[in-house]
Amino acid sequence: MTFTYNLASLDENLLNISRVRLELGDTAASAGVRPDGSNLTDEEILLWLNEQAGDIMQTVARACAALSNMWTNVANITVGPRREELGQIAKGWADRATQALPYGASYQVKVVPVDQVHDPYRVRPEDESGL
């Protein structure tokens, strides 16, 4: 089981794994998002990326659902006056999982076809330049 976080990677799979980690906050080795403090593995993230056809934010949503399930198994803790409601962490991951595109972000680019040939040297009248 491996952990990779390198946003400068030339390997597309490793770069996408790193992008998912960035969105999840799972960026430091041995300080992960799982209940035991471990990180998600590259293999898990790659599996979810393949299931989601490489869509980063859909993969993040899928990982959030898995993290919600992991945190559901952790009990709330009460020691004297101190209480830690770890179930709220599961709810937070579940809430985030329901958002297909958290924060409205996406790494997808929408291509808009045009009828004209793009000429970067063509001078446009002011009313067409959009400035």
pLDDT digits (tens, 9 = 90+) for 67-118: 988 888 777 777 888 877 777 888 888 888 887 554 554 434 344 454 555 5
2 located within any domain: no
Query: Is 79 within the bounds of a domain?
Result: yes
4 within some domain: no
- Whether residue 1 is contained in a domain is answered as no
How many angstroms separate the CA atoms of 45 and 63, rounded? 7
In a domain, 92, yes or no: yes
Tell me: pLDDT of 130 over 90. Answer: no
Q: Residue 23's pLDDT is what?
A: 93
* Among 12, 2, 14, residue whose Cα is nearest residue 41: 2
Inside any domain, residue 5? no
> How far is the C-alpha of 67 from the C-alpha of 61, rounded, in Å?
10
Q: Contact at 8 Å (CB) between 48 and 67?
A: no
For residue 74, tell me if it sits in a domain. yes
User: How many domains does the chain fold into?
Assistant: 1
Q: Which two tokens stand for residue 61?
A: 């949503």
Mean pLDDT for 2-25 is: 94
Are the CB atoms for 91 and 76 separated by under 8 Å? no
Give the span between the Cα atoms of 90 and 68, in whole angstroms: 4
Question: Is position 7 within any domain?
Answer: no
**Are 62 and 50 spatial neighbours (Cβ–Cβ below 8 Å)?**
no
**Structural domain span for residue 88:** 12-129
